[in-house]
Structure formats: C-alpha cells, structure tokens
Structure 1
C-alpha cells in the first residue's frame, strides 16, 4: 500500500469541511486544521483547502518528517497505523507509543537495548524495530500494532475522562481508529 493510498483513505474518513463546537482544533478540511494549513503555507479559508494541498501536507508532515516512511520499509502495516495515530494524536505521540511498546517487548533488554523515549524515529529506534522483527518475524508486526492500538485506546479514554466535551468524539475514535 502506498502513502497516497493511505492518504486517500484517511481523507475519505476525515471528510470535507467540519467545524464541531467541541473540537479544540477548530474547523478542519480533509482533517487538516487551519493552524496546520497556515504553518504549511496555505493562506486561504480552511473551507476552501484543496484536497491536493491536504494530501501534500499529510505526506510531508505526517509521513516523511516523523520517519514513518522508514518504518514502512520494514513494517508497512505498522507504519500505516503510526501514520493514522500521528494524524489524530500527533506524530510524537505515535512514536512514543512505538518506543514504549518496543521497550516492553524486548525481554528485559535481551533482544535489544531499551530506547530513550525521545519520540523521534532515529537510528536506535529503527535498530530496535529491526531486532524485534528479526526475533519475532512478521507476526511481531501485528503484535506491535496491537500494542500501539492499546495505548491509543487508553489515551482516548483518558481524554474523555479528563474533558467531558471529548466524549462527543470517543465512540468514533474507538470505532474508527483503534482496531
């Protein structure tokens, strides 16, 4: 699956223009907030954001910049999950979930050293991912996805517990974003 396919699927899920009163991010178009659009050079009304501009932002900001493209060469389904999580929760949160899962699954550092939870995909995170996959094989990728999903689900529940307005989104988050 290519990044453009992932982006097309994401845009289909996110829909067109949305301005939900409980959403602290404000109005979005194709899932892109006005703040993100402005930070990436778009200066028109968010309601008019072209889909191609949104797709370009997704690829540059939410795929290439955090290094999910590098994860995809090793574990494409995991990279797709990190991409979706990163769009919804922030790329550093998604990377933190991956690093936490890799640390918890390294058999007390016997398979590879613990990672610093720096929320960046660098040489050490990629080396830990490579070592994990070498020890666990393709089935390991599915386990990592489950771990990321579990952390994501817990975060959604915590958000709704701390901010009742987020309860408006909880069902959709759990139904559409946590496998």
Structure 2
C-alpha cells in the first residue's frame, strides 16, 4: 500500500479528474497543475486534505503546497492518475493558456530580463561605491573626497568606472542573448 493513496485519490477527484489536467509537475514543495478548466478545482476540499498545506494560482498554474514529501506524493499521484508528468518548462508553457494577453506579455518579458537582473544590480552597486569614494567629501573637515587625498583610491575610482559602465554598455547584447535563449536558438546569434 502506498503512503498517500487516499490523499492522492482525493486530490485527483478535487482537481476535476484526469480529464481536467493538461499538465502536472512538482518543485521542491509544491505540485504544479495546469488545468483545462481551473473552475472545476474545488479549492476548499483540496485544502482540507491532510497533507495539503495550502493552494494558490500563479502564472496560469494551480499550485498545491505539499511540503518536503512532494516527490513521493507526486510519484504516487501520476501513477494513480495514469498520467505522465512533464518538465517545469512544459508546465510553464502550458500554463500560459490560462493567462490573458497582458499576463502572457509580462511573463515573456520576465523570462527575458530575469537572467540580467544580477548583472544590473552588480553594475549599480559598483557605480554606487564609485560615487561614494569619489563624490562624498568626508576627509579634511568635509572639504575633500577619498580620491582627492589618495592616489590609490583615485586609480580604483577610474577602474570602477570601466567595470560599472561595461555592464550597462553590453546590456543590449545581454538582452539579445536572453531573447535568443528564450526562443530556443543558439545564444551565439544573440550577439548579432
């Protein structure tokens, strides 16, 4: 006997049955469903299942929070429901069917720009540090900045300009690389 057989049958029934499931996968703590008709899912009954910690809908996916044992629960679920699990990317693409035009547009833009966010943050931090050492007058009674007193910090100040601006200078290349990655093309084509 499986550990979650009763809960698996309940969840399958409450999401609207096998016919209502377009795609299913899981992440670290959640089952991720793309439902053909999201209104068929009985959220109140699902949340009363013993192993379910909560539910929510995001990015066209109906997500059921199971917790640390989600992998075991998921394996039993797909076996009991006689459906094939899919990858997270497939579920993400299938979930777009439940989004309106504006949500789909924002989702696409998010997938393009989210890989670039760390570079933008680092570039901003570098330029911010550069401004602190070059523009804030803290030394000699508030009349001189660090670069006006130290040759070393003046060199660091100029070097940081190169690094900080390079990130923003090459941002269009990063955007085209990210677009080509999203479209499934060779990332090399994003350089042109």
Q: TM-score, normalised by structure 2?
A: 0.25
The structure whose residues are more often strand, as a share, is: 2
Q: TM-score, normalised by structure 1?
A: 0.27
Mark the structure with the bigger radius of gyration.
2
